[in-house]
A = this chain, B = another copy of it.
Amino acid sequence: MLTQTLNTQAINTQIGGKIAPALPVTDQFGAIAGHVGIVATEFSYRKEEEIYGEDEPAEYVYQVVSGAVRSYKLLSDGRRQIGAFHLAGDVFGLESGPTHRLAAEAIIDTNVRLVKRASLEKAAGTDVQVARKLWTMTAGELRHAEDHMLLLGRKTAMERVATFLLEMDRRLAVAGMMALPMCRRDIGDYLGLTLETVSRALSQLHAQGILGFSGARQIVLRNRQRLHHLDA
């Protein structure tokens, strides 16, 4: 509650100075933001900074411009389940109901664009294209969640790590190499494992020549075929 207030104040302060009325309209966010009455604003979060908390009112919808974000839920004793990582281009924080169902934090320094939820609601009330787009984005998140339930409920540790590597390879590999923004603990909390188990699985894949390291978070996949096989 307090955090939300602080965040909102910070955003408004920044908005005061510079509103960005016209943004490039080539991605999923743009497809909405291009419509009448929708104003997108830019904002930055530093490493480890909270963007919104679980069950906070969902005032804004966000798109990662650069950086990376984790969405997660906590149990009362601190156990954490990360539901998704949001990377450059991804939209997050979109809700049909009044509140955010997961908390969100910047993993590293992150720039986002954001629009007011209310203006999306308004646009969707007029424009069926916008309404359809909102539905499609939520359905995309649902698809990911369904795949992830299968992983969390039924895959082995090695299968989970293999799935994770292939997902990250697809989403953030540049020139065959990926620079992971998140630490081993984040990966563990995403995969329902401990950080030690993640580390051991990666070491084993390294020993088998399936991947190469240049620094713990710089990974090259050397054999996607074998990784797909390990994925089940």
In the complex, what's the smallest C-beta–C-beta distance from A129 to chain B, in angstroms? 9
Main secondary structure of the interface of A (DSSP, over half): helix
A166 and B76 CA atoms in complex are apart in Å by 18
Q: Which of A125-160 contact B (CB under 8 A)?
A: 125-126, 128, 131-132, 134-136, 138-143, 145-150, 152-155
| B139 with A149: CB separation less than 8 A | no
| A101 with B146: CB separation less than 8 A | yes
A80 interface hit (Cβ, 8 Å): yes
| B124 with A131: CB separation less than 8 A | yes
- When distances are taken between beta carbons in the complex, the residues of chain B under 8 Å from A149 are 73, 81, 83, 145, 148-149, 152
A131 and B133 CA atoms in complex are apart in Å by 10
B-contact 0/1 string along A184-214, CB 8 Å cutoff: 0000010110000000000000000000000
- When distances are taken between beta carbons in the complex, the residues of chain B under 8 Å from A20 are none
A75 interface hit (Cβ, 8 Å): yes
Q: Which of A70-122 contact B (CB under 8 A)?
A: 73, 75-77, 79-81, 83, 95-97, 101-102
| A155 with B96: CB separation less than 8 A | no
How many of chain A's residues have a CB under 8 angstroms from any CB in B? Answer: 42
A232 interface hit (Cβ, 8 Å): yes
- When distances are taken between beta carbons in the complex, the residues of chain B under 8 Å from A97 are 136, 139, 143
Chain A residues close to B by CB (< 8 Å): 73, 75-77, 79-81, 83, 95-97, 101-102, 124-126, 128, 131-132, 134-136, 138-143, 145-150, 152-155, 189, 191-192, 232
Q: Offer 23 A-B interface pairs, CB within 8 angstroms, sorted by A.
A: A73-B147, A73-B150, A75-B154, A77-B232, A79-B154, A79-B232, A83-B149, A96-B138, A96-B140, A97-B143, A101-B146, A124-B131, A125-B132, A126-B128, A131-B131, A131-B132, A138-B138, A142-B142, A142-B145, A145-B145, A148-B149, A153-B191, A153-B192
